[in-house]
Amino acid sequence: MENVLELRGVCKSFKTFSLDNVSFTVPSGSVCGFVGINGAGKSTTVKIIEGLLKKDAGEVFLFGEKELSPKTKSLIGFVPDSCYFYEKQSLQSVKKFVSGMYDNWDEEAYRKYMDLFGLDERKKTGELSKGMSMQFSLALALSHNARLLIMDEPTSGLDPYIRSRIVNVLKDYVENGENAVLFSTHILSDLEKTADRIVFIHDGRIVFEEEKDRLTALLKEKYGIEETSLDDSIVACIDMLKKGGNGR
Q: Is the pLDDT of residue 164 over 60?
A: yes
Residues 6+ positions from 241 with CB-CB distance below 8 Å = 202, 203, 207
Q: What was the pLDDT predicted at 212?
A: 85
Q: What was the pLDDT predicted at 156?
A: 67
Q: Is the pLDDT of residue 105 over 70?
A: yes
Q: Is the pLDDT of residue 108 over 50?
A: yes
In sequence order, which ranges of the chain are alpha helices (DSSP H)?
A: 42-49, 70-74, 91-99, 107-117, 130-141, 160-173, 188-194, 212-223, 230-242
Closest CA to 128 of 174, 164, 84, 168: 84
Average pLDDT score over residue span 83-91:
80
Mean pLDDT of the chain: 88
Which one is predicted more confidently, 223 or 195? 195
Q: Is the pLDDT of residue 247 over 60?
A: no
Cβ neighbours around 85 below 10 Å, total: 20
What proportion of the chain, given as a percentage, has pLDDT over 90?
54
User: pLDDT class for 248, splitting at 50, 70, 90?
Assistant: very low
Average pLDDT score over residue span 172-181:
94
User: pLDDT class for 83, splitting at 50, 70, 90?
Assistant: low
What proportion of the chain, given as a percentage, has pLDDT over 70?
95
Say which amino acid occupies 71.
K
How remote is the C-alpha of 13 from its chain's centroid? 22
Compute the distance between CA of residue 238 and CA of residue 233 in angstroms, rounded to an integer.
9
Do residues 143 and 109 touch, judged by C-beta distance below 8 A? yes
Closest CA to 156 of 119, 179, 183: 183
Average pLDDT score over residue span 154-182:
86
Q: Is the pLDDT of residue 245 over 70?
A: no
Residues 6+ positions from 25 with CB-CB distance below 8 Å = 3, 5, 6, 7, 209
Weakest-pLDDT range from 73-77, 206-210, 229-233: 229-233
Average pLDDT score over residue span 56-81:
90
pLDDT tens digits along 8-54: 999 999 999 999 999 999 999 999 999 988 889 999 999 999 999 99
Closest CA to 199 of 226, 162, 171, 237: 237
